[in-house]
Amino acid sequence: MAARGLMIQDIQGESTRMVGLAGDTSMLSEEAILRHECVERVMRVSEPYKLAGRRFHPQDTVVEATEAARIGGGHFAVMAGPCSVESEEQILSIARDVKHSGAHFLRGGAFKPRSSPYAFQGLGLDGLEMMKIAREKTGLPIVTEIMSQEYCEIFARDVDVIQVGARNMQNFPLLREVGALGKPVLLKRGLSCSIDELLQAADYVLVGGKSPVILCERGIRTFETATRNTLDLSAVPVLKKKSHLPVVIDPSHGTGHWDLVYPMALAAVAAGADGLIIEVHNQPERALCDGQQSITPFLFDRLMRKIGQLRTVLAENL
């Protein structure tokens, strides 16, 4: 250890001996030490991530897709749109609606990760083309999920914010590749991933040195079944403390019920989130995917107005 430039210090208790290591321990694996028979436990004092951490990057990162679509460091942004793109008409209609209500990004799924191979898997590249048309007509930058490295080139060219979904949060080769594309990455927290693991996954993207990262909490898996997932809203202030990256909340996947989206979106704003990603569908009862958690453009409009009021009051002096 001394050979690695680490300072070693020793504390001798009655029944236990404690050894402290100080210096750059980021390259040291806890396992490497645990192997030794005399070692009972290894406790890491410093964080296991670096680039995503606030320690060496105290100021907030602002991620900018267009001038009107910035997020972080005081810029609040809403990404809205259908779970999956179903037709040019559908995506256009929704895009116009959400733009009118003040959304900053158009979200929509072209490639859909589904638990069952028999479920609708998205329109693929055709869906992406439809999103591009919607972007052209509305000016909204587009956010869509990448599921495989093979589409990296296309996404780098055509997409404004590349989403890495919860199921791929620890697909490390994919993280590395999107990290080299130079486009903002919306990184969703895995269903059973800790906050520290999310930040380590962000480091996988950030080591590429090219793509900024937006973190997204979208619900974790717990024993509770009244909601589809358990939206961990405390992750907002925790992430803001640990990291300089913008934090976005997904109340649609986080709850799984359209009538919980409105209150939880407001709660996310009050907790200090930098943005929201919300499923909006013009005909939720006919959506090919996740209709039960989509809100209508009408409700979205009301939500956006209430968010505006809320943000004003949150910024006010006491």
Using CB under 8 A as the binding rule, the residues of this chain from 129 to 188 that contact its own copies are 147-150, 167-168, 170-174, 176
Given the complex with its own copies, which of 3 and 117 has the nearer CB atom? 117
Helix 258-271 vs helix 297-315: crossing angle, to nearest 10: 20
Strand bridging mode 63-66 / 213-217: unpaired
Biggest CA–CA distance in the chain, Å, is 74
Considering only CA atoms, which of 181, 175, 176, 107 is closest in space to residue 144? 107
Residues 249, 265: contact at Cβ < 8 Å? yes
Task: Return the residues of window 61-90 that contact its own copies according to CB under 8 A.
Answer: none
Closest approach of its own copies to the CB of residue 133, in Å? 25
Query: How many chain residues bind its own copies (CB under 8 A)?
Result: 113
SS3 100: helix
Residues 218, 254: contact at Cβ < 8 Å? yes
Given the complex with its own copies, which of 29 and 66 has the nearer CB atom? 29
Contacting residue, 87, 209, 234, 298, with its own copies by CB under 8 A:
234
Contacting residue, 268, 277, 278, 295, with its own copies by CB under 8 A:
268
Contacting residue, 68, 119, 133, 154, with its own copies by CB under 8 A:
119
Given the complex with its own copies, which of 56 and 67 has the nearer CB atom? 56
Task: Return the residues of window 269-308 that contact its own copies according to CB under 8 A.
Answer: 269-272, 284-292, 302, 305-306
Question: 245: Cβ–Cβ under 8 A, 6 or more apart, which residues?
Answer: 52, 61, 72, 202, 212, 213, 214, 215, 239
Given the complex with its own copies, which of 1 and 68 has the nearer CB atom? 1
Task: Return the residues of window 4-23 that contact its own copies according to CB under 8 A.
Answer: 7, 9-16, 18, 20, 22-23
d(CA 168, CA 231): 19
Contacting residue, 2, 3, 5, 45, with its own copies by CB under 8 A:
45
